[in-house]
Structure 1
Amino acid sequence: MLNLLAKIFTWWNGATIGTLFTIAKRGELVGTDEFGNRYYQSRDTTSYDGRKRRWVIYDGYAEATKVAPDWHGWLRYTFDEPPSEDGMARRSWERPHLPNLTGTPMAWRPKGSLAAEGRRPAATGDYQAWTPEG
């Protein structure tokens, strides 16, 4: 029962009932990415410029940074064809795409941060406080 209420009233944690109805009526599944997000395209050309509308249904919490660069290019009509199973060709120096991890246990915590484990390093004595000229 709680899951049904969440589907009806929350848009930020997956698709609502209304969204699922619209997808069933007007959308067709184009693909899924490594994060579990599902990408859709409208069956008809309903946009003002004659192109088929494209959208994403996030797997879990709606976070725009969970869209990989290749799928982002497809969503924004940079690429006509959806990405293949292999994705875009990556350069040797490129890292794999990661969503924004702020606020999660995987977030970066610099040395000395209150959220980081351990103790803050001791002051080195190279700091001199500013005092106004008298």
Structure 2
Amino acid sequence: MLKNIFTWWNGATIGIRFTLGRRGVFIGKDELGNSYYEAKDTKDSYDGRKRRYVVYNGYAEASKVSPDWHGWLHHTFEEPPTVEPLKRQSWERDHIPNLTGTVHAWRPQGSIARSGERQKATGDYEAWRPE
């Protein structure tokens, strides 16, 4: 409960939930559990368009928004992906968020975080020595 009151990086705060409940319309959810909203009117808009919001499921990380929802959030697409899904090409891969800084991040062989042994330096490496 306290986390929802004081932290913005773990989903929406109580204030945002109140504002979205009062002034927003739920549009849909994506495969990662993020919720998307649109303002009921253009009252707080700076360009005459309704504002659009995302409430992240868990840690707030912009790369958790898939390309179709990103296009909708930035008014590239008028209709949300729940109404008009983005056409997928056969060569496209599934969207994955940026995992840097998480336990699922890639760690190369010999990385301290991977607790491995680094390969011995070969003849093409000469250590720096102060003169």
Mean Cα deviation higher: 112-121 or 69-78: 112-121
Percentage of matched positions with identical amino acids: 64
1:34 Cα shift? Answer: 0.7
Aligned to 2:23: 26
1:92 Cα shift? Answer: 3.0
1:10 Cα shift? Answer: 1.2
Q: Please report the TM-score for the alignment, with normalisation by the length of structure 1.
A: 0.84
Distance 1:130 1:93 in 2: 46
Q: Kindly report the root-mean-square deviation, in angstroms, between the aligned alpha carbons of the 2 structures.
A: 2.3
Distance 1:118 1:89 in 2: 43
Instruction: Provide runs of 4+ in structure 1 moved above 4 Å.
Output: 128-131
Unmatched runs of 5 consecutive residues or more in structure 1: none
* CA distances 1:2-29 after superposition (whole Å, capped 9, x unpaired): x2x2221111111111111111110000
2:124 is paired with a residue of what secondary structure? coil
1:71 Cα shift? Answer: 0.4
Unmatched runs of 5 consecutive residues or more in structure 2: none
Aligned to 1:80: 78
Aligned to 1:99: 97
Q: Please report the TM-score for the alignment, with normalisation by the length of structure 2.
A: 0.86
